[in-house]
Amino acid sequence: MIEDGKLAVSETATNALRYGRPDPHDRPHAPPELWVWARTVPSPQLVVSVFDCARTALPHASGAGLLDERGKGLAILEEFTAGWGCAATRSRVAEEAVRGKAVWFLLPLPLDWPGRTVEVHPGTAAQCLLLCVTRRGFRGARTSDERGVSVVVLPGLNVWVHRRHFCWWASATRYVRRPLIDLQETAEQVVRHLDGGTP
């Protein structure tokens, strides 16, 4: 799995460097970023994501043949990972909000991966989520009540942080519930929702 992951990182990072350049007139922009986190839902997986500023330059299959030197990156992701995709998002490290996209892939984790049972206090989880989202250009605030429930208040979205879960209404009919340990995955879904994408 480690060798498969290294190959997949190489392909996604190379594509970001080669094709992920923003239009020179677009401001602000940022260099590519590599993000890695673990998630438990829908199953234990390592998520590896490469961000670039070329928001509209979506990856597509090139139809390259077996002997071609280029154009096989997506086929490699398909073959060597548990899944891959692309989503609109924003930079995590730029000094100001930079819109772009992330190409991500998944690697399976064992059911007993280290860190999966870490207990997180709801107030701490709420504060971390708020920082993850506001760092990416959205305004927000956090409140807590005497029962230990925190609420992260964002533009058009409230995320309730209970003892074990983040919860929010993604639409009028879709209620999302994620474990607190899935903080980074939750932050990505919330940013995508606020940015007009689908969580």
Which CATH number belongs to the domain containing residue 28 in this structure?
A: 3.30.565.10
Residue 110 and residue 31: Cα distance in Å, rounded?
33
> What digits encode the pLDDT tens for the residues 127-185?
999 999 999 999 999 998 888 789 999 999 999 999 899 999 998 899 999 999 999 99
113, part of any domain: no
- The residue assigned the tokens 């090139």 is 62
Instruction: List all residues 6 or more positions away from 115 whose beta carbon is below 8 Å from its beta carbon.
Output: 38, 181
Residues 79 and 17 in one domain: yes
Tally of domains in the chain: 2
Residues 55 and 95 in one domain: yes
> What digits encode the pLDDT tens for the residues 78-130?
888 999 999 999 999 988 889 999 999 999 998 887 777 778 889 999 999 99
Residues 62 and 155 in one domain: no
Q: What is the strand order of the sheet 165-169 is part of? A: 141-144, 150-154, 157-161, 165-169, 175-179
Instruction: Tell me which residue range forms the domain holding 137.
Output: 122-194
Residues 82 and 7 in one domain: yes
Residues 13 and 93 in one domain: yes
Q: What are the backbone angles phi and psi of residue 179, rounded to the nearest 5°?
A: -65, 150
pTM: 0.85
